[in-house]
Amino acid sequence: MMNEFVSIIGGSFFDPIATLLEKLEKHDKGDQPTIKAGYYENAYAISIIILAVASLESYTMRVRYMNNATGKDLDSKPVPSYLNDLYQDFPYLAEAKELFVIRDILMHNHLWEVSIDRNSNGDMSLRSSNRRSSGDRKYAENVDAATGKTKRLGLNTNPANVGPKDARTVLQWIWKVLLFLESKNRNQCYVSHLYVDYKRKMVPFGKIIGMPETVT
């Protein structure tokens, strides 16, 4: 008997993300860094974001496969553009673009030069911040040059500033996109049933990120 499968690995990322979330919560001080996120907050947040966007990219490859995509649609069309072209009612185009902007920023480690002042108490204040890497067209379209954050989701674009809030925002929007894909065809994307090992309990993934667990 012959069995067949396609090499989609998106579902494999959720348990590692849950583990990283546990660790992130242990170090999350609840503040919003203006200069640099703490070492652990930054490390875990970045890892979560990269895995989360990788999961969406993987599931979208299954969507491409299930919809018989060929040529550019299969191999090179960006995820946001592909989903927007496939579904006229896709409601998350702007947000999806920003998810991939932040992924690219982290994967390619955009370069910033930051100068700080430190007073006698050790408190830091920002003197100057200069982005050295230029980014690409989608960076310019989706990032507010004045704030250094994405225009819609407010994600930090200086890799050193990325922290817990950014990670949670990305996870919630990734989940919204995945649930949208599931609502179109469960065979192409089925995530609402996923449970993860979180704090020694099996918990629905949607619950641990504060989102609906099922398609609405």
Q: Is residue 137 part of a domain?
A: no
Give the CB-side neighbour count of residue 184, counting CA atoms within 13 A: 19
Q: Are 181 and 59 in contact (CB under 8 A)?
A: yes
Of 19-33, 66-80, 85-99, 197-211, least confident by mean pLDDT is 19-33
Q: Which residue is associated with the tokens 């020694």? A: 200
Residue 125: phi, psi to the nearest 5? -135, 150
How much is the pLDDT for 33?
63
Q: Is residue 37 part of a domain?
A: yes
Find the domain containing 175 and state its range. 10-108+156-208
Closest CA to 129 of 110, 148, 150: 148
Q: Within 10 Å of residue 70's Cβ, how many Cβ atoms?
A: 8
Q: Is residue 102 part of a domain?
A: yes
Tell me how many domains the chain contains: 1
Q: Is residue 175 part of a domain?
A: yes
Span 120-129, pLDDT tens digits? 665 555 544 5
Q: Is residue 120 part of a domain?
A: no
Q: Is residue 183 part of a domain?
A: yes
Q: Is residue 160 part of a domain?
A: yes
- Its sign, for the CA torsion 40, 43, 48, 49, is positive
Task: Tell me how far apart the alpha carbons of residues 125 and 172 are, in angstroms, rounded to a whole number.
Answer: 31
Residue 179: pLDDT band (50, 70, 90) is very high
In this structure, which amino acid lies at residue 216?
T
Q: Are 186 and 61 in contact (CB under 8 A)?
A: no
DSSP for the chain? ---------GGGGHHHHHHHHHHHHHH--S---SS---HHHHHHHHHHHHHHHHHHHHHHHHHHHHTT--HHHHHTS-HHHHHHHH-TT---HHHHHHHHHHHHHHHTT--EEEEEEE-TT--EEEEEEEE-S---HHHHHHEETTTTEETTT--B-SGGG--HHHHHHHHHHHHHHHHHHHHH-TTT---TT-EEEETTEEEEHHHHTTS-SS--
Task: Tell me how far apart the alpha carbons of residues 121 and 60 are, in angstroms, rounded to a whole number.
Answer: 50
| pLDDT, average across residues 179-208 | 95
Task: Tell me how far apart the alpha carbons of residues 123 and 144 are, in angstroms, rounded to a whole number.
Answer: 27
Residue 83: pLDDT band (50, 70, 90) is very high
Residue 26: phi, psi to the nearest 5? -65, -25
How much is the pLDDT for 78?
95
Q: Is residue 131 part of a domain?
A: no
Residue 203: pLDDT band (50, 70, 90) is very high
Task: Tell me the whole-structure pTM to 2 decimals.
Answer: 0.87
Span 93-110, pLDDT tens digits? 999 999 999 998 898 765
Q: Which has the higher per-residue pLDDT, 140 or 176?
A: 176
| pLDDT, average across residues 13-32 | 91
Longest dimension (CA), the chain: 74
In this structure, which amino acid lies at residue 31?
D
pLDDT at 3 over 80: no
